[in-house]
Structure 1
Amino acid sequence: MTRLLMLLLGFVVATSAFGSVSVRAQEQISSLVLNKNELSLEVGATAALTATAVYVSGTTENVTVKTEWNSGDPDVASVYAGSVTAKKEGKAVITSTYMGKTVIVNVDVTKRVRSLIKDKQLIELRQGQSEQIKLTAYYDDGTSEDVTAKSDWNIDNGSIATVVNGNVTGQSSGSTSITAKYNNQQVTVPVYVEIVKRVDPEKTQVSLLLNDTESVKLFATYPDGSVEDVSDKADWESDDETVADVIKGKITGYGPGQATIKAAYGTKSTTIKVDVDQAMKIALDQQSLFMKKNATEQLKLVATYPDGSSEDITGRAEWSSTDEDVVYVIKGKLSANESGEATVSAKYGNKTVTTRVDVDVPRRLELSKEDLDLKTGESEQVTLQATYADGTEEDVTGQAEWKSDSAGTADVSGGKITAYKAGRATITAKYGGKSVSLDLSVDVPTKLVPSVKAVNFQAGSSEQVTLKAVYVDGREEDVTSRAEWSTAAADIAEVKRGLITGVGTGATTIKAQFGTRSIAIPVSVGVLKTLTADKTLLILKKHEAYTIKLTATYTDGTSLDVVQDAQWSTSNANAATVEQGVITAEGAGEAKVTGSFGGKSVTVTVQVDTANKLTAAPSMLAFDLGETKVIALTATDGSGVSKNVTAEAEWKSGDEKVVQVVNGVVTPVSRGKTTITAAFGGKTVSIPVEIGVVQSLEVDRKFISTKKGQSVQITLTALLSDGTKKDVTDQGVWRSSSYKIVDVAGGWVTAVDSGTATVLVSFGGKTVSIPVEVDKLKYLKTNEVAVEMKKGETLQMKAVATFFDGTEEDVTVEGLWSSTNIRIADVKDGTIKATGKGKATVTVTYAKKKTTIVVNVVN
């Protein structure tokens, strides 16, 4: 019974199997499809192939395991159940066969890229500028290759820059990134085109009238400090084109209202506020204004439109003051700071209106008397009235400063004048920056008037001269008989009660005195031969006086000083005046003073405060920003007398963007060179100025030897033209000749990879370089130079690098290991594995040094 059951079970199984085979046999294959037709692999990499059978019935089946797989060159690429393994560099053909259908796959095996190195860490370009990136592939076998042209290059934003085989060209302002791929490695390089530090408009606020236009420039400041007008390159837009629109910085007002203009260049942008109005006229509520010191006042600006309406536009106008030390203005609010006068302007669109502001300044001063006649011992009170810009008047007698130019004749205090002795004086009152004066006479007629100004006759002749005294009240009196008459030379002319008689040939002076007044009448008796002065050139200082000696020589050989008798005149009273030969210097300049007597004349050239020589100390300036210097100016006149004229000279800077100068005080603005000019008394002198000019650069390290991964700080010192030294490490522009070897920023040098490079740093137009060595080895050694191994055995080697500074370092892992025959001995990170019988050489390379180990593998 058991045997029967077993036979029955076997029959059923056989029948079932036969039925299954019959069903599958009825399925006919149409095609065999692989998921890939080509493979690119690096040595050691694997890839999975899948095979799919497509039957005539339209059904499909994954037959990867059932397919027969073969490699045309197993040493290059092997295959098992669709899994392809790359063995060594080369090409191989993988064949897959199933139910009579065959498909091939081409396999390209390349060396494995251990690293992909770029020679540029970042690229900064201007528009239209190009720069080349070089890519180097380092393989596991220790070789390297320039793969720039073989790599796949891509850029994130092609509108900013383009890249072709590593050649990058800037197209427009902005930043993007370039990616280069080669085999299993890729690198990224940031790109900056026309990247600016900031953008600044020429104006941040513009006021326009309807249909008016105004052009505003846009300036871009780059990281290196250079500035460029980018108005035509920038993107301009308005947030309300019905109010104002803009094209390349030219703003046009189209309708009343406010708009914001945005100017963008690269990644930076700025805005300009625009007010557009259709005002026909603008007016201030006050045309003139009087203010007290420390007081404030609000001005109102009103615009009137075509429809007759008006609007307060005080807050929208541009306000300015001609003297902010006197009056400061902001949005129409005035602040009086000190006594003086200033003009305040309000500008709206193309219209401007002004108002005059006086701070504690009277328009005029008036004395209660213009002149005064007193007797000795008398006193009289004089009052001073100040009239201000607002029409108000004030008695400022007690507040004024009073002064007499002749205190011996008369003195004054609080306007009360007291006469002491006969004579004349000028009384002056000062208040609020203005002054007024009166003429005072004490026991003196205003003037004495002779009937003749000069007498000329022959010896023996006589002439009667009458004398009148003219007083302050205008009355006249004949005082001929009461005056005191005298002659300077009785042997030439005599005088008695105005009757002059010629005695002998020559010239003299008849003097008439009445009270404290006197006059002189020149008298010429006989023939005058020559007239000479003791000076033909006179050099004086302001307010200095000199009495000329004038000599008349007659035909009889006699001579006489006739300075008091001559007639005197001046060509320039602003420079010098003359009275009876006394020349008084009044102000800087030149005058011709002429003395005439007896039909002859002589001229004296008078120079007042003129300079023959002008010198500056120091004659040259060199210093840095943040300091100020003072130049002293000395003028030497024709007589050799020197005077400090620093405060009186006219100063000018050749370039106010470099330095500014006021009364000899020099203030630096920026680094550079220029010339300061000082002018005085018709002479000029120039002083060269250098601000922060770099003579040379110094670094505290002339040479750097370091190791990969370490950082070293370099200090940069600038020697300025004034001899001072300054640490400019943070201000220098640092760069590396090879960023794949060393990187540098702010003076910090970081070793990236072994090799040599140069660090360069620039500042103030000067550049200095520092050679850098990274991982420079003296020699490289292994713990064994020859080993014997058995097949399948592994052995750990050790590589030690000795640097030039004497230090040692285990570089077993960092080194690049290779074998001349991996079928005999393979190596990785110093671990040698014996793979077959024979001899091979294992090489370890580090920092351009290498050493070898001979490996003998036995059974």
Structure 2
Amino acid sequence: MRHLANRLLFLCFALALAGCGADDPTRSNDFLELTSISITSEYDGIANLTDNQFSATGDYSGELSKDITTAVSWRSSDENVLKIDSAGLATAVAPGPVTLTAALGEVESSLIFSVSAAGIVSLNVTPASQSAPVGVERAYDVSGTFDDDSVQNLARIASWSSLDPAVASVTDTGAATGIAVGMARIQAEWQGVTDVAVLAVTEAELVALTIEPAEAEYPAGLTVQYTLTGSYSDGTSIDLTDQAYWASDDETNATVDNTAGEEGTVKTLASGFTDIMVNYTDAETGEWDVSTSLEVNYAALRDILLFATIFDAGGGVVSEDLEIDAGETLDIFNDQTVQFTAIGEYTDNAEYDITTQATWSSNDTAIVTISNSAGFEGTATPGDETGETDINLSFDDLEITFTLDVNQQ
């Protein structure tokens, strides 16, 4: 009995040791230590009373990097100028300079930021006009132009309303839904300035639903965005991806996401067959169920092809689709940014864009940082120093290393 107790004690200790660090954001899954944090921002500066999303990327011993925006502790040097929440969303309170800091464990990074006194001049709701059958949701966005000629997205802070509530309703995020046939004015307001768009609510009926890609085949380990399109009796087509419920018939082969903003995102896991299924409820014609087959094949990743597009300080394209080989050096100036694109080449000769699924890292973030944050994956930005640093790209079991040489402009 004592031997059994000792073995159980040893097993518990071993399991605890194996799990040590698994939930510790200061270490990666392979126990690499967090060595630096880079902060990225939606804007270089914002107008007073607006907001801005900051993101934090952690570099782990120069081997890999990952998004740690919600893991770090955010703080503002002056909350009378800018307040920031635990998710990195900051709100401007008054004009002035401020320093934002992201810290995790013993590692921290800071970014100097500014809040201007610029005043709002106009709002622009987009699209200006669109149509939808009764019961279908349509999204609107709004940006503001300020008296210093800056433009910011204000969708998170604008007030939305339907000026024709019997025809359409609108949520506080700008999603409008038709209630009855007619024309509805959808208004955004901020700081007393308004703009109006139009939603034409039609009596068109849903006649077909289409899932894309249809009857697809992919290797394991990929993330693929599926879409659902509704075809209506008036000839219009509407993207219904985020208004439906998604499921996989066999989640050992592939899973599909229903999380807000991720609807229809399929992850292939293991070889085999499954059906990607969708349930959609239409206000007029009721429930619809459609599906498409998915085969997860045995193809393996054979190579990664890498391409670079260089942008100048104003966002103009300097060079486009430059092919970069492993070990090669790419020269840029310190006022330029680079968007890298990674293409996975598989043993069945198929190619897939893996830019957003790969892990990117820089060996010296003082020279170059490279993002893994959503929407910015593979974007390289020069730091405060010039010189050479290795950039690492890894996906599945392959890794490519090349060099970025940052020169003074």
TM above 0.5: no
Provide the TM-score with structure 2 as the length reference.
Answer: 0.33
Larger Rg: 1
Greater relative contact order (Cα 8 A, min sep 6): structure 1 or 2? 2
Provide the TM-score with structure 1 as the length reference.
Answer: 0.18
